Amino acid sequence: MLCKYETRRIEAVQEYHVTPIAHVKLLPSQKKRSCTKRELKNKYYCFSYVHKKNKNENGTFLCGSHEATHFLELLNHEDLPLFNPLSSEGTSQSVGEGGIGGASNTRIWNPIAKELSDTINLLIIY
């Protein structure tokens, strides 16, 4: 899914059910491209999409902070916590750590939910 332009992101939200899945810090030397076709530099969001009329038209896409902020605004969805696979247990629980919006709030995790979230994020990175 291409999302370089604001108008295309608006159309995407109108045509598809778009859901944020993860907010992930890039690993050193990891290379990924966003839905704008640009190389991601530091962190990215992963979104899933399903066409509203044709459920067989679905998938995932990655985007950088600028596009993700716009998608989250269009979806009226709050930021997801930044997952850094190389950080210690304490740091990976902070919300917005250098992320979209810049707020630094602490999220209290149920241990099982935290483990599931970390597993999903690791699968996305892989």
Per-residue model confidence as pLDDT tens digits over 71-98: 999 999 999 988 887 775 544 444 444 4
* CA–CA gap between residue 114 and residue 118 (Å, rounded): 6
Report if residue 110 sits inside a domain. Answer: yes
Report if residue 93 sits inside a domain. Answer: yes
* Domain limits for position 24: 6-125
Report if residue 28 sits inside a domain. Answer: yes
Q: CA 21, 6, 15 angle in degrees (round to 5)?
A: 60
Per-residue pLDDT 10s for the chain (126 aa) are 888 899 999 999 999 999 999 999 988 888 999 999 999 989 999 999 999 999 999 999 999 999 999 999 999 999 998 888 777 554 444 444 444 444 444 567 777 877 787 787 777 776
The total of other beta-carbon atoms located within 10 Å of residue 45's CB is: 27
